[in-house]
Every structure is written in C-alpha cells, then in structure tokens.
Amino acid sequence: MDTEHKIKIHPSWLKVLEDEFRKPYMAELREFLRLEKQAGKRIYPPGPQIFNAFNSTPFDRVKVVILGQDPYHGVGQAHGLCFSVMPGVRIPPSLQNIYKELHSDLGIAPARHGCLQPWAEQGVLLLNATLTVEDSRAGAHQGRGWEQFTDTAIGALAEQREGLVFILWGSYAQKKGAVIDRSRHLVLSAPHPSPLSANRGFFGTRPFSSANDWLLQHGQQAIEWALPEAAALRRVAVEV
C-alpha cells in the first residue's frame, strides 16, 4: 500500500506512524468513521484537520507536548489542536483558565481569540488522545482506536527524541504519559484547567516559564507564548 499518497500526514510523522496505518485497528477505525458519516452524523474536526497537530508540528521540531483528551464537540470549534478553537469562536472555559495561568506566569495578557496555531508552528504539539468526536457527544469516539495511535506517537517522541517538555494536565493525560522517561524529558503535571478542577492546583504551577527555562537550558529556543491578534493569523488548511 502506498501509504504516503493515501494519508496526508507530515512525512516526518509518516516515518514514525506508517506501520500504524496498516494495522487492523486503523482499518476498523476508518470503517467506523465512514459508517458514522454515512448515517448522517456530524464528525469533528473536519476531515482535512484531523491530523492538524501532526502537520503543524513535525516530529523533529517538537519541543513541547500538551496532551488533551477529546476534540471539542460543538459546531465550528475543533480544528485538530487540543484546547484550541479558530478565531471568531468563543474561547472555551478551559482555555480561558490556561490564559489566566499564562498571564500569572509570564505577564502575557489573555488573547482575544482561542487559536493556538502559532504555538503549534513553534514546536508545541497540541495532541488530543482521540482525534475525532461526534457532534454534541463528548467522548463518542473513545475506545475506537485513536488512543492506540496517539500512544504510539507519544512513545516515539519519548524514545527517539531528547530534552522535550511534556505538559500533562489532569489524570487522563498523566496516565497517558506514563511511558515518558523523566530522566530524559521534563514532565510537568497539574490538575486539568477545566473550571471543575482548575482551583485544585492548576493555578500557580507556571508551566510556560518552566518549559522555556528547560528549553533554554538544553540549547533550544524558547516558545513565544504571546499570541498575535486574530487578524494576523493565517487560516490553516491542512489536508489529510
């Protein structure tokens, strides 16, 4: 099978994940998604953006990994990056809390939009454990195979790269990050930024400055966490 021409994912990630596309679970996942769409169900994000995290942040350019769980399940929200929404979409509560911590940590005023694409393009892999979801049904595509796929991606980063920063917010992300070798990478764990848990220890953890300190100590360029105004953002059209 000519995987490179069938799957539009960045070549650096295709090298790492090509075998996964050939496994039975992935064929079953593709069939599940096909049948869901055939049944008239709305699936997010749009097909061309399912692999946006991988296409925006090539394997060899990853510096920081932020793990999410599910794409947003509202109309027009998900675009393939965890915690992120396109300009013009209301900023979700968890991201509002992330912006509050960013302001407390680095003095960066909260952006007036929720698009984190500039972070992704600097080397912040914004990866959800599950890459698709059904409209208005959070978690609808969990247990269908995406978790195995993203586990493989995380494991490859942990094994093949050195000196990365993994930001694990909430117990789900922390369990998923159990494979990470703490002697080779910086792992920052905290409660999830959701309003349900943010006050239990998320605020005050200073993940953004901690990540940048680590990167600078390891000879890498720091992340510019300040986001440009929405008008300055280019709309991403990543094809799969």
Catalytic residue ranges: 70
Nearest to 83 by CA among 96, 102, 100: 96
- CA quadruple 45, 91, 117, 173: dihedral sign: negative
Tokens of 83: 């915690």
Q: What are the strands, taking DSSP E only, across 62-202?
A: 64-68, 124-128, 133-134, 165-169, 186-190
Per the CB < 8 A criterion, the answer to whether 69 and 128 are in contact is yes
| Distance separating the N- and C-terminal Cα atoms of the chain | 16
Per the CB < 8 A criterion, the answer to whether 86 and 79 are in contact is yes
C-alpha separations of 203 from 102, 198, 208 in Å: 9, 6, 12
Nearest to 177 by CA among 193, 154, 156: 154
Per the CB < 8 A criterion, the answer to whether 227 and 115 are in contact is yes
